[in-house]
Amino acid sequence: MAKKSSTGALTKEQHSAQDARYAENHEYDFLVIGTGNSALTVGALLAHAGHTVCLLEAHDIPGGYMQTFQIGDYSFCAQVHYTWGCGPGGKVYEVLKHLGLEKEITFNLYDPDGYDHMALPDGKMVKIPYGFEKLAENIDSAYPGQKANVQKFCGILEQIRDELRTFPERKIRWWELITKGWQFRSLLTYRTRTLQDVFDECHLSKETQAILIANAGDFMAPPEELSIFAYVGLFGGYNTGAYYPTKHFKHYVNGLAEAITQHEGCHIYYETPASKITTDGDRVTGVETANGKRFTAKKYICNMDPQSAVKMIGIEKFPESFQKPLTYDYSPSGMVIYLGLKDIDLRDFGFGRHNVWDLAEWDMNKMWKEQLKGNFEKPWFFISTPSLHTHESGTTPEGGQIMEIATLTDFDSFHDAQQRSYAEYFKMKMALADHLLDLVEKKYVPNLRKHIVTKTIGTPSTNVDFVMATRGNAYGSHMTPQNLGIGRLKATTPFSNFFWCNASSGYAGMYGTTHTGLNLYMDLTGDRFHDPTKTPEDDDLVRSAREAFTQQNDQ
């Protein structure tokens, strides 16, 4: 199915320039398939270290889910709304610092007293702040009697986070579990636990559980499926500071892309999708593309979905020990409504440097199942207002603002409708979008529709079209204990010069994929410029984030 809209495909002249460069027969140290964030991270670090690098991108712009597309005078980041680890000591910051970009690519903090606002079925709004102690106070203020239970829950999160800092990224040897297991007691204890298991262990009320998992869209998993490790990583990360790029996500993505191409012998080829990966024995020998080109390098890095890449190689070339980690199931996805607005200030309606998560029922597990069955009578949804998260222009015309609304949907219903006819698919997504807009107008912004200049709707099928996401998945492999255990897919493959580098072989989201690209770079080169054991303690990060937010607002 052809794309229904585009950011502006390459011109004839741009294609000619790429063809002329290809004809020069460049020799590369590293060839990277894809330009998602983990690919841009490892590619920029390798180029900075003096290696020649080539990236192949199927789309006409870089970034994967972090790409920015334009509709009229409005620009929208496709999927990413906020991240963490962008202050000194955080991995995003340390990568940029190593590249010399930390002063060019900067970030704004969300409101430290409430970066997420959880709108609950009884009409209460509870803010999620930086710092777990403040979180316990906020919850107890709204629903008295839960403070001690929340503190117990947060104590488990903190212990797991502390142990994850020193847990080795490499494959664990059996004897290390015996000799060093005592250092990672929480990791061993909770390795198979879900978030729901820990909710139950801490005797959290239905109200507290709803507050703590209202942001299920950040994981694309409900508590009864979600690995506690995934929850610790993201919720614990945001606890130390939630960030938005000062000059928007497009500036961040383009900055990393330029950090690659500014080096001699380093290139990015757009509209050049890989179609076949050739091998000889235990080595990859080249990558063939859909437009008839063949690229070779000393080493290869695969940013595309591993299961899709295996089809290009042949599953029979993977020993059984490498096949098992490739059997992961995919995370679900959702629908996003991108709105360009005029003649309105969303701050007048309570929006600002925070997101809103709206729940119509207390039980996220129930809501999750209902929405995947197509029942949106009482949906949960997310509202982000990125044009309020920075004073920098670049995404709207003067006086314009952006609102993005998202919720969970299944893949099959949209895919099947699209295959039958685009008209049926369009009608289906418009019906759900109108339902969500009705709810937003009823609960938050009356007459919102009168201010809409442009409206674009993305579905799981859109994710397939634009980033080749299998089943439209949001985060690669589903964030279950089974997929996040010791047997999780790692960077290494049975081919000595071929490595995975993506959300399924590492971790999802902007921070997770930065972590993935950084770790692969350090493993490939031995340049271990970042030591996670020396990361500031969470309390120090919280204090620094609060001070930085105050300074940003004073400027």
Mean pLDDT of 390-410: 96
Burial class for 182, CB neighbours closer than 10 Å (0-12, 13-18, 19+):
exposed
Structure tokens at 221: 């998993």
Per-residue pLDDT, 181: 54
- Over the stretch 167-188, which tens digit does the pLDDT of each residue have? 655 455 545 454 555 466 888 8
> In which residue are the tokens 């006086």 written?
399
Please report the DSSP string for 195-261 in residue order: HHHHHHHTT--HHHHHHHHTTGGGTTS-TTTSBHHHHHHHHHHHTT--EEETTHHHHHHHHHHHHHH
- Over the stretch 50-68, which tens digit does the pLDDT of each residue have? 999 999 999 999 999 999 9
Residues whose CB is less than 8 angstroms from the CB of residue 54 and which lie 6 or more positions away in sequence, other chains included: 26, 28, 30, 31, 32, 266, 267, 268, 269, 295, 297
Determine how many CB atoms are found less than 10 A away from the CB of residue 539: 13
Does this model's pTM top 0.85? My answer is: yes
Sign (positive/negative) of CA torsion 366, 229, 113, 204?
positive
28-33 and 53-56 beta bridge pairing = parallel
CA distances from 469 to 143, 181, 405, 509, 541 (A): 40, 37, 20, 14, 34
- Over the stretch 334-370, which tens digit does the pLDDT of each residue have? 999 999 999 999 999 999 999 999 999 999 999 999 9
Instruction: Answer whether residue 470 shows pLDDT above 80.
Output: yes
Whether 500 and 516 have beta carbons less than 8 Å apart is answered as no
What type of residue is 367?
M
333-341 and 297-302 beta bridge pairing = unpaired
Q: What are phi and psi of 281, to 5 degrees?
A: 65, -125
Mean pLDDT, the chain, whole residue set: 94
Confidence of residue 393 (pLDDT cuts 50, 70, 90): very high
Domain 12-68+80-89+246-327+480-549 has CATH 3.40.462.10: no
125-128 and 116-119 beta bridge pairing = antiparallel
Spans of all domains in the chain = 12-68+80-89+246-327+480-549, 131-233
Please report the DSSP string for 78-131 in residue order: SS---B---STTSHHHHHHHHHT-TTTS-EEEPPTT-SEEEE-TTS-EEEE-SS
